[in-house]
Amino acid sequence: MIVSRRALIGGAAALAFAGPARGADFGAARYGKAMVIDGLSSLGALDPKAPGIAAQLATYRASGLTVIHQTVGAAGNTPGRYEETLRRVARYTRFIEALPDHLLHVRTAADLAAAQASGRLGVIFGFQDTVPLETEVERLDLFNLLGVRIVQLTYNKRNLVGDGCLESGNAGLSDFGREVVAGLNARRMIVDASHAAQRTIAEAIATSSAPIAISHTGCRALNDVPRNTTDADLRALADKGGVAGIYFMPFLRASGQPRAADVIRHIEHAVTVAGEDHVALGTDGGIRGIELNADYAEGQRRFYEERKALGIAAPGEAPDVFNLIPEYNEPARFLKLADDLAGRGWPARRIEKLLGANFARLCADVWSR
């Protein structure tokens, strides 16, 4: 865990974690051989010539991650989202191409294996909103050619595709939204229902001819907030072969800083409901640990106020609750989680499924159709 010498903000990282009684660890050796995928993460800075690039690349290696899903699309109902998305795709593409010994743009299931075999960090391009399409489903052709492989339908609010989770109307998919889902299926791109309204999630699962993802979510049965997913939808997702990624976000508990125990509680509930073949990890955070100091706390406060002003702050977000899990606030967070689950009696194969095998299977199922 990365913690500054300054006073920890709000005691967030000082709370004691009453962890489970420990059994045998999963172990670094087994972790090093596993397919480890973060279903939503971030590469961080995109300057391959920056003075800190060596440290940044070292962080990637220290994480043990095989692949991350990286958002490259713009979100929100504001003008210029299509053009901004093209600029972002170009920036990420240039960054990856400048570091071919360290990074691999993942476009196929074979690329997942190639990233693992070569020790490079694989990067899946994805959107967290369909607003870059505007009214043109055919733009999926361009984004597909540019290597986008996952497309989230909505981001909290209503767009032309359907309702996000903060829309009180819960109107589900629009007719255009059904066209977009069909268009994604036809192009073998993964439909992602994260941030969607409950009815939008249910209709996306039912409408899609391929399994879908809810790449970063939690369990509404454990904390009834809009960003979490109902048990009924988790079951329906699994019945169609889909995968839900559990995030490391404030929505895991009703109030206060989420802890490792909250992550494990949501993972285990999701496995009970959907089955061990349909639960993955999607932290919705960066790879490196965060220095918990006054500057970070002020940045979090401003970030929350900006989201609140835009109407996209979801219930569960707060100015003094950080988007991290203190016990896992380091690059190798998934190894620590794997050890915690092993200590609770999880068999190694189930842990490997959670770490990345399930998400890799979903990618292969959709991309190879």
**What confidence tier does 24 reach under pLDDT thresholds 50, 70, 90?**
confident
- When mean pLDDT is compared across 15-19, 216-220, 242-246, 319-323, the lowest value belongs to 15-19
Q: How sure is the predictor about 23, in pLDDT bands with cuts at 50, 70 and 90?
A: low
The CA radius of gyration of the chain, in Å to the nearest whole number, is 19
**Sequence ranges of the domains in the chain:** 35-45+62-95+124-367
Residue whose C-alpha is closest to residue 125's, from 79, 93, 98, 159: 93
Res. 22: pLDDT tops 90: no
Residue 15 has pLDDT above 70, yes or no: no
114-173: per-residue pLDDT in tens?
Answer: 999 999 999 999 999 999 999 999 999 999 999 999 999 999 999 999 999 999 999 999
- pLDDT for res 196: 99
Contacts of 242 (CB under 8 A, 6+ apart): 205, 211, 212, 213, 214, 278, 362
pLDDT bin (cut points 50, 70, 90) of residue 12 is: very low
State the Cα–Cα distance between residues 263 and 243, nearest whole angstrom: 17
pLDDT at 49 over 60: yes
DSSP β-ladder status, 148-152 and 67-71: unpaired
pLDDT at 98: 99
**Tokens 């999607």 -> residue:** 282
The yes-or-no verdict on residue 335 having pLDDT over 50 is yes
Between β-strands 103-105 and 67-71, what pairing exists: parallel, antiparallel or unpaired? unpaired
3-state secondary structure of 326: helix
Q: Domain 35-45+62-95+124-367 in CATH: superfamily?
A: Metal-dependent hydrolases (3.20.20.140)
The pLDDT, as a whole number, for residue 369 is 85
For residue 340, CA distances in Å to 261, 262, 343 come to 10, 12, 5
Distance CA 87, CA 269 (A): 40
CB atoms within 10 A of CB 97: 11
Identity at 268, one-letter amino acid code: E
Task: Judge whether residue 334 has pLDDT over 50.
Answer: yes
220 neighbors 228 (Cβ within 8 angstroms) = yes
Q: Tell me the C-alpha distance between 13 and 297, whole Å.
A: 12
Angle at the Cα of 8 (from 282 to 322), degrees rounded to 5?
A: 25
For residues 74 and 85, the answer to whether their CB atoms sit within 8 Å is: yes
Give the pLDDT mean for 276-294. Answer: 96
What integer pLDDT is reported at residue 8 of this predicted model? Answer: 29
Give the span between the Cα atoms of 235 and 30, in whole angstroms.
Answer: 30
Kindly state the average pLDDT of the residues 342-360: 98
Mean pLDDT, residues 323-352 taken together: 98
> How far apart are the C-alpha atoms of 189 and 124, rounded to whole Å?
11
Give every CB contact of residue 4 below 8 A, 6+ residues apart in sequence: 291, 292, 293
